[in-house]
Chain A
Amino acid sequence: MSSKLERLSSSLQNILGAKVRSVVVDRGEVTLEVAAADYLAAAQMLRDHRDLRFEELIDLTGLDYSAYGNGAWTGKRFAVAVHLLSITHNWRIRLRAFADDDAFPVFESLVGVWAGVNWYEREAFDLYGIMFAGHPDLRRILTDYGFVGHPFRKDFPVSGYVEMRYDPEQGRVVYQPVTIEPRENTPRIVREENYGDVGNG
């Protein structure tokens, strides 16, 4: 571990204190995990503390862990991962929090901390159905107007539920249940650890 990452992870422990669930340094990247209740407060401190200064939010994404390791996952289902960048200190961090309720995942919105998070939260809502309390305009963003469901959840089929075609009799576009069969050309396989002995695996 380089000295810079060591400095970052120790100052994270010092500054955030009890809010830290874990700090993991892996492959040159720092992952900070906090509880959903501390998520907004931790974000605020990450931006404002002068030893951290994460002034840019690079990315926010939802995650659905329900099929992780072909069903070996026992923890909570939904998480958000936020990638932050500090221009002042030239370092990055990944902030992750798991939602407490699998049936209704909800987080506090970060819009007040980084204005640019607006669309990322809309995207996470659209694709995963994760709610962001305090978001000013939580509409769908990438999917069609009137889309039903959250397509990136692992239980949503890749081919979807409905398809669209032009109906010459009605003279308009209509929705109907999908007619194509989902197929998998290459099966998904999880091998044992160190399978094939590639690199640092």
Chain B
Amino acid sequence: MAEIRNYTINFGPQHPSAHGVLRLVLELDGEVVVRADPHIGLLHRGTEKLAETRTWVQSVPYMDRLDYVSMMCNEHAYCMAIERLLGLEVPIRAQYIRVMFDEITRILNHLLGIGTHALDIGAMTMVLYTFREREDLMDAYEAVSGARMHAAYYRPGGVYRDLPDRMPQYAVNKFKNANTVRELNENRQGSLLDFLEDFTQRFGGYCDDYETLLTDNRIWKQRTVGIGVVTPEQAKAWGFTGPMLRGSGVAWDLRKKQPYEVYDRVDFDIPIGKNGDCYDRYLCRMEEMRQSNRIVKQCIDWLRKNPGPVIADNYKVAPPPRERMKGNMEELIHHFKLFTEGMHVPSGEVYAAIEHPKGEFGVYAVSDGANKPYRLKLRAPGFAHLAAMDEIARGHMIADVVAIIGTMDVVFGEIDR
């Protein structure tokens, strides 16, 4: 009889379904995975080390580049860590704005996650639809911060500025004639909140569309049901959080269990799975999007009724308004000190965690009283999830590895940091 040998293949780092730069060394016995060894770090930029050489505020834009599909959530955890170190109170309106954008970000992230997951395992159409909706939400990012992705909108003490009264409009160009532009601009005539309200009303229908495409789809179920099963005990031992933990039936969500900002004032439910397979996690993410939509609606209602400040008025931490800076010596000095030397954060250490779309994103900040962090450790949910790749993928077929990478929703910006 011929001798049968296991062979090793390299999956990635240039593989379209490796979701970025994952180099996965797979040891195969025929088509069955015997061992999976993820090699990470190809996108390592040393964000934590860089943050030690920048002032506290200068690191906010670095946070966007960690998990580059849920930008504002990363900023949120970072700003929360600074606020806890300072003992700083955030104005209530800023808290609502943060919650609203966290949920918009959650929808953005899950749209990309589900879209590309479906694309990876053969459902081409999904990604086209989900990216259409992402476009609207990116426009909301742009309206509020000027950038479609890397917003740097959350600041220690609140958010950079209040919500805009008008939306950016499309203009006629050689690809779009006047009629098309009028149609595109139809829901952009009012404020950002009007635009988002219009979106939340449409979004429920979109979710139904996605479900028609996938939930009862025979091929989708064949590729995901019973694949990558994680028991609750395993999920806890491996440090899973977010949909990866809830998909296994553990009712754990920081927004409910350790509420931050105004999550205890809004009404929403937490979906949990039963079997802990890829399909259950998909269903969880789908329901989470609908719940996020609910939260966004409530925030819109509140924000319409309650104007107010959006950043703390402590000028040692947050910059004074520009008009006052121009006409007032003291504010000018504060502005100058804040943007040259930066704020001084009292010594101590703090761990601030938020329910990021992918799981628990935490920032462990150590300060020695300087104008820069002494140590900044970013706890990325994807890092813990990918670490369990070997155990989850073992015994599966090679094609299922793609399904497992998709369900983990890995993004290398945050894993490699």
Contacts and interface: CB of A to CB of B under 8 A. Distances in A.
A200 B387 CA distance: 38
A45 interface: no
A175 B317 CA distance: 43
A201 B239 contact: no
Contact of A197 (B54, B316, B340, B348): B316
B344 A191 contact: yes
B390 to A, nearest CB: 9
Interface stretch (B187-195, B320-328, B359-367): B359-367
A61 B364 contact: yes
Given A94-B351, A198-B344, A198-B346, A158 B53 contact: yes
A177 interface: no
B379 A141 contact: no
Nearest to A198: B316
A20 interface: no
B50 interface: yes
Given A69-B368, A151-B49, A87 B41 contact: no
Contacts of B252: 87
A86 to B, nearest CB: 10
A27 B85 contact: yes
B369 A69 contact: yes
A61 B371 contact: no
Interface in A123-166: 140-144, 151-152, 158
Contact of A188 (B239, B371, B383): B371
Determine the interface band of chain B, counting residues with CB < 8 A from chain A.
35 or more
A122 to B, nearest CB: 9
Nearest to A183: B53
SS of A interface (majority): loop
B304 interface: no
B308 interface: no
Contacts of A196: 316, 343-344
Contacts of B50: 158
Contact of A158 (B49, B316, B349, B362): B49
Interface of A: 26-29, 31, 55-59, 61, 63-64, 67-70, 81, 83, 87, 90, 92, 94, 114-120, 140-144, 151-152, 158, 184, 186, 188-191, 193-201
Given A191-B370, A198-B88, A201-B344, 14 more contacts: A58-B360, A58-B379, A59-B377, A61-B375, A68-B368, A90-B257, A119-B386, A141-B41, A142-B40, A184-B53, A188-B371, A190-B368, A193-B346, A198-B317
26 contacts: A26-B349, A29-B349, A56-B241, A58-B360, A58-B362, A58-B379, A59-B351, A59-B362, A63-B375, A68-B368, A81-B364, A83-B362, A87-B252, A115-B238, A115-B391, A119-B383, A143-B44, A151-B46, A186-B371, A186-B372, A188-B370, A190-B370, A198-B314, A199-B87, A199-B88, A200-B87
Interface of B: 40-41, 44, 46, 48-50, 53-55, 58, 84-88, 236-241, 250, 252, 257-258, 314, 316-317, 340-351, 353, 360, 362, 364, 366, 368-372, 374-375, 377, 379, 383-384, 386-388, 391, 416-417
